[in-house]
Amino acid sequence: MTPLLRVLAAAFVALSGTALAQDYPARDLTFIVPYGPGGSTDPISRQFASQMEKELGRSIAIQNKPGAAGTLGTSAIVTSRPDGYTIGLAPNTTLLFAPMTNKDLVFQSTSDYEPIAKLVSLPYVLVVKADAPWKTLQEFIDDAKKQPGKLRASVSGIRATNDLTMQQLNRAAGIRVRTIPFTGGGGEAMVALLGGRVEAYVGTGASTAGHAEAGSVRVLAVFQKGRYDLFPDATPTGDAGYDATLGPIYYAIAPKGVPQAALDKLSAAARKVIDSAEYRKFAADNGYSVENLTPAQIREEFVRDHAMFTDLLKFLEQK
């Protein structure tokens, strides 16, 4: 290539680069959801995407890519072309914990993707049957101490997020409640509690509210710091002195290598959406918490939670 041509080429690339940044988004976007179209993440994604459409002036197609506990869809986001036109939803456990136990995953560290926004987070709750002897979290823990390994809690899989949450409580309270996997999806873990096959259930507020209202179950604790509006009477574990506050957090992420200008535009639009009254109302209706973080703040959260998961894994492997 002659020097002249090289300069021209460089100029062209630079020009088209700026043109790209200014015009972005120049076409429609795809938003990958790593779960099937029935899960709780689907409405979250659709709410977020439909409001993002208005901010960006482009339509956003939702693509469900379920399987392998969210790792398949998340991998699809991470390996998509980094042009800013494919983004998606990813949960905290998939991003941070899954790579610790699965070395085949294409994302191994937090630098393999770019955070755009923290969409929502929600706490898990500890639930027992209405006719169970335990009226409070403390009674449950005291009883669990008296008979280690006897009490059972149903979760949605071994080392699924709600299992990890229960293990946090095991560690923090020095108890041994056995977690029993009920993997059918669709609330089989709740059915196990209702059928008396386990003594407790760890799951989301949404899956519990109907049964609590009907008076068939009692919510003992909520795994977070501070009161949970959905169940104001439940003891927050964080306030009771137990370091067990893990719950699902859903982020919007983009693959590594997206032009900074596009990333800025995306996160600016996302922050506007998350601050909107419409989005806040949606979150409140479903028992989600919203925290509007910048990408840099999300990275700090990643570092903090990565350390927490590392600790927890050590505890699990000692057992």
Partner 1 sequence: MGPIEGLLYGFGVALSLQNLAAALLGALVGTMIGVLPGLGPVAGVAMILPLSYAFDPVTGLIMMAGIYYGAMYGGSTTAILLNMPGESASVMTCIDGYQLTKKGRAGAVLALVAVGSFVGGTISVIGVMLFAPWLAQFGILFGPAEFLAVSAGGLLILSRISGGSFAAGIFPMALGLMLSTIGQEAITAQNRFTFGILELSQGVELVAAVVGLYGIAEILALVESRLAGPPPVPVRLREMMPTGTEWRRSVAPFGRGTLVGFVFGLLPGPSAAMSSFASYRLEKAVSRYRDEIGHGAVEGVTGPETANNAAATSSMVPLLALGIPFGSVTALMLAAMMVHGIQPGPLLMQTNADVFWGVIASLYIGNVALLALNIPMIGLWVSMLRIPRHIFLPIIVVIAVIGSYGVGNSMVDVYVLVLLGVVGYLLRKLDFQLAPMVIGLVLGPLIEKHLREGLFMSDGDAWVFVESPIALAIWAMVALVLAGSALAPLLRRRRG
Partner 2 sequence: MGRTHGKGRAYLATGAAGVALSAGYLATARHLPLGEMNQPGAGVFPAIVGILVLLASLAVLWEGWRMPRDATVEFPAGADALRVLGLLGLIVAYVALLPWLGQVAGSFLFCLLLIRLLSDTGWVRAAVQAALIAAVAYFVFIRLLQVQMPRGILGL
Smallest gap from residue 206 Cβ to partner 1 (A)? 7
Query: Which residues make up the interface to partner 2 (CB under 8 A)?
Result: 30, 61, 63
Helix (H) / strand (E) containing 8: helix 3-23
- In the complex, what is the shortest distance from the CB of residue 63 to partner 2, in angstroms, rounded to a whole number? 5
Shortest Å, Cβ 20 to partner 1:
27
| Contact status: 259 vs partner 1 (CB under 8 A) | no
In degrees and rounded to multiples of 5, residue 269 shows phi and psi of: -65, -40
Q: Which residues contact 309 (CB under 8 A, 6 or more apart)?
A: 93, 96, 97, 100, 164
Q: Name which of partner 2, partner 1, none residue 317 binds, using a CB cut-off of 5 to 8 Å depending on partner kind.
A: none
**CB 243 within 8 Å of CB 2:** no
In the list partner 2, partner 1, none, the entry touching 30 (Cβ below 5 to 8 angstroms by class) is partner 2
CB 221 within 8 A of CB 126: yes
Q: Does 148 bind partner 1 (CB under 8 A)?
A: no
- Could you tell me the CA-to-CA distances from 21 to 14, 24, 59, 276 in Å, in that order? 11, 5, 18, 25
Three-class SS of 293-317: CCHHHHHHHHHHHHHHHHHHHHHHH
CB 22 to partner 1: min, Å? 31
Residue choice 89, 96, 164, 190 for contact with partner 1 (CB under 8 A): 190
Provide φ and ψ at 240, rounded to 5°.
-85, 5
59 binds partner 1 (CB under 8 A): no
CB of residue 183 to partner 1, shortest distance in Å: 4
- The span of 100-108, 245-253, 272-280, 302-310 binding partner 1 (CB under 8 A) equals 100-108
Residue 174 neighbours by CB distance under 10 Å: 11
Q: Which is nearer to partner 1, 152 or 227 (CB)?
A: 152
CB of 156 to partner 2, least distance (A): 16
Nearer to partner 1, 22 or 102 (CB): 102
Least separation in angstroms between residue 149's CB and partner 1 is: 8
Query: Contact at 8 Å (CB) between 108 and 67?
Result: no
Tokens of 303: 């570092």
The residue type of 122 is L
Positions 160 through 179 that interact with partner 1 (CB under 8 A): 160, 178
Which residues ranging from 32 to 51 are in contact with partner 1 (CB under 8 A)? 36-40, 42-43, 46
Determine what percent of the chain falls in helix, strand and coil, rounding each to the nearest 5: 45, 20, 35
Q: Which does 194 bind (CB under 5 to 8 A by kind): partner 1, partner 2, none?
A: partner 1
Rounded Cα gap, residues 121 and 92, in angstroms: 10
Given the rule CB under 8 A, which residues bind partner 1? 36-40, 42-43, 46, 62-69, 71-72, 75, 101-102, 104-106, 149, 152, 157-160, 178, 180-188, 190-192, 194-195, 197-198, 206, 209-211, 213-214, 216, 285-286
